[in-house]
Chains A and B, each alone.
Chain A
Amino acid sequence: MEFLRDTWHLFLRLIRATMRMPVFVIISIVQPVLWVLLFGQLFKSVTTIPGFGASSYVQFLAPGISIMTALFGAAYSGMGLLADIDRGVLDRLLATPVSRGALIAGRILHAAVQVVVQAAIILLVAVILGARPHGGLPGVLAVFLSASLLGSAFAGFSNALALIARRQELVIAAMNFVVLPSTFLSSMIMSRNLMPGWIRGVSRFNPVNWAVTAARDGFEGRAPSEMLLCLALLAAFALVCGFLATRSFGRYRKAM
């Protein structure tokens, strides 16, 4: 109970802060739209490669870009925590009886909400450009769920790094190191059919690919067996990351 209440109060604080930065809000809305337009144009012709297996690239791209935006946004969630560390806010909070888990969960929830809003905008733009959510409402919800689970996991991971490294440079470098490779080791922008065998092999163990697979299967209205497995794996991954981040407060306390 206290965990949930603390999470909610801390989440509201972050949402309030975000809403007070209208420029940030505008950028985070325009950015994903830009991705859809840009990638949609750049890779337009790849659908003509024999075996790609999709009629329109925007149709193929919409769920993938939703995941990419989730990944890029959430990966830097730890930066906010670092700002709190630098400003003494985290120490002030840690000296209260607040649930440690809630300090992380509030940030994860904040990242997840952002992710869902952005995914909604992306799908909307994609539909305007001709994409069709064949999976209907459940399919769209699957996109939101997979995006927010992946976002939650990376937000947790990013916050854990922030607590352990306590340096902006390190968090940025580590997340950059992870974000792009894990994007390319997934079927986010390239059809699974056209991947080299080894990448297809590696991608099976890549949470980003789990999210892309679940989102695309949902969006396309495919049989849900693989989607459900991917969502379960993602949920477990998100829980592990959140748990690690919460445990990192112990490390923080020892080092401080």
Chain B
Amino acid sequence: MDAIEVEDLRKTYAGGVEALRGVSFAVRSGEVFALLGPNGAGKSTTVRILATLSAPTAGRARVASFDVVSQPREVRRRIGYVAQASGVDVTATGRENLTLQGQLFRLSGAGLRGRVDELLDLFQLAPAADRPALTYSGGMRRRLDVAMGLIHRPEVLFLDEPTTGLDPESRSVMWKEVRRLAQGGLTLLLTTHYLEEADQLAQRLAIVDGGRIVAAGTPDELKGKLRGDVVSVELADRGRTAAAEAVLRGHDEVAGVMVDGTRLYAQVGHGARAVPALLGALEKAGLDVAQVSLSRPSLDDVYLTATGHAYHEEGEPAAAVAPRSGR
């Protein structure tokens, strides 16, 4: 059964900004599903609509088999929502935050107190439980956010960029939490702009770009669509990228070429055979190659072929992109 069904969702803001231009996907019950894309792609808007916080301009969405527009109350009872920006009340303690959250889900008494203690323990917040959240580190606030999202044992949990802004250590703690939650049978929809995160955590994912879904499937399916290897080439002379692109496109070994700035990515059937042939062809055309590398297709390449641009964000420091483990 599908825990989330989204059909042709559209959202146009006042002023004509089209945040969503027809998004459709389904998340199976008990699955971890990731929406992957850069800032402004429409991930958060999608999640906000599914969490009943934002009204769609058109389209239909059902969560836990209730319509988000016509049955928002039913939806709210069954979801946990952890926003991109923390929702912690910093003037209150961790325990107070959790208790109020539980009370709003109509939990009370010993049951609620027990659940609060349980979550404080689970998320390693017990020692800080009675301190104002103002004194918490970023990672602790994030864990408190997730704990609040779970207070009522929801059927579906939305995690909007759960690790953005976290240091690597807190990130790996969060990944561990997500994996543990997934084992508990919870349906999890997470958004991320880290390819690595989607690859590591999600059973299936959809790549969102410009308010549309440009590719969807399991990480392996998506990578499998890119047969062979990827040769990436950087020229010594930056002005001659177009000439190099023409050479690569005309080559028998090459199935497709993507250009990102001064870098060219060529999809080839067999990397070890193609590299010398491509270098030879470039040399023959009088193009000096500064750097060449060969890789198995990764989600970066999936992203690249799906969107036509490489995965990086303008103006964002390189450190903000999760390091990729060697594959």
Chain A residues engaging chain B, CB cutoff 8 angstroms: 2, 5-6, 9-10, 13, 16-17, 20, 84, 87-89, 91-98, 253-256
Q: In the complex, A87→B91 CA distance in Å?
A: 11
Whether A96 touches B89, Cβ cut-off 8 Å, given contacts A91-B53, A253-B54, A256-B54, is no
Report the Cα distance A85→B3, complex, angstroms.
Answer: 29
Cβ contact within 8 Å between A20 and B132: yes
- Using A6-B104, A256-B48 as known contacts, say yes or no to A91 and B83 having CB atoms under 8 A apart: yes
Which residues of B sit under 8 angstroms from A254, Cβ to Cβ? 54-55
In the complex, B76 has a CB within 8 A of chain A: yes
Residues of B at under 8 Å CB distance from A?
13-14, 48, 51-55, 73, 76-77, 79-81, 83, 85-92, 96, 100-101, 103-106, 132, 145, 148
Known A-B contacts A2-B106, A91-B87, A92-B81; the reply to A17 vs B92 at CB < 8 A is yes
Q: Is the CB of B90 within 8 A of A9?
A: no
**Across the interface, do A89 and B89 meet the contact criterion of CB distance under 8 Å?**
yes
A186 to B52, CA, bound (A): 44
- Complex-state Cα separation, A91 to B52, whole angstroms: 10
Contacts of A89 in B (CB 8 A): 87-89
10 closest A-B pairs by beta carbon, nearest first, are A92-B87, A95-B81, A88-B85, A17-B91, A88-B87, A96-B104, A98-B104, A97-B76, A9-B103, A95-B51
CB–CB B79/A95 < 8 A? yes
- Given A95-B53, A95-B81, A13 and B89 contact (CB-CB distance below 8 Å): yes
Alpha-carbon distance between A164 and B9 when the two chains are bound, in angstroms: 24
**Do the beta carbons of B92 and A16 come within 8 Å of each other?**
yes
- Are B13 and A255 in touch, CB under 8 angstroms? yes
The answer for the CA separation of A23 and B67 in the assembled complex, in Å, is 47
Closest to A14 in B: B91
Q: Do the beta carbons of A87 and B83 come within 8 Å of each other? A: no
Instruction: Specify the chain A residue showing the minimal Cβ separation from B158.
Output: A95
Chain A residues closer than 8 Å to B100, beta-carbon distance: 9-10, 13
B92 interface neighbour in A13, A93, A95, Cβ under 8 Å: A13
> Using Cβ atoms and an 8 Å threshold, which residues of chain A touch B52?
94-95, 253
- Across the interface, name the chain A residue whose C-beta is closest to B73: A97
Q: Is the CB of A88 within 8 A of B105?
A: no
Sample of 22 A–B contacts (CB below 8 Å)? A5-B103, A9-B100, A9-B104, A13-B89, A13-B92, A13-B96, A13-B100, A16-B92, A17-B92, A20-B91, A87-B86, A87-B88, A87-B90, A91-B83, A93-B87, A95-B80, A96-B105, A97-B76, A97-B104, A255-B13, A256-B48, A256-B54
Asked, given contacts A13-B96, A16-B91, A88-B85, whether A97 binds B54 with beta carbons under 8 Å apart, the answer is no
Contacts of B87 in A (CB 8 A): 87-89, 91-93
Instruction: Write out the residue numbers on chain B whose beta carbons fall within 8 Å of the beta carbon of A97.
Output: 73, 76-77, 104-106
Give the residues in chain A near B90, CB-CB below 8 Å: 87
Residues of A within 8 Å of B86, CB to CB, are 87-88
* Contacts A92-B148, A95-B52, A95-B53 supplied; 12 other A-B pairs, CB < 8 Å: A9-B104, A13-B100, A20-B132, A87-B90, A88-B88, A89-B87, A91-B53, A92-B87, A93-B87, A96-B104, A96-B105, A97-B104
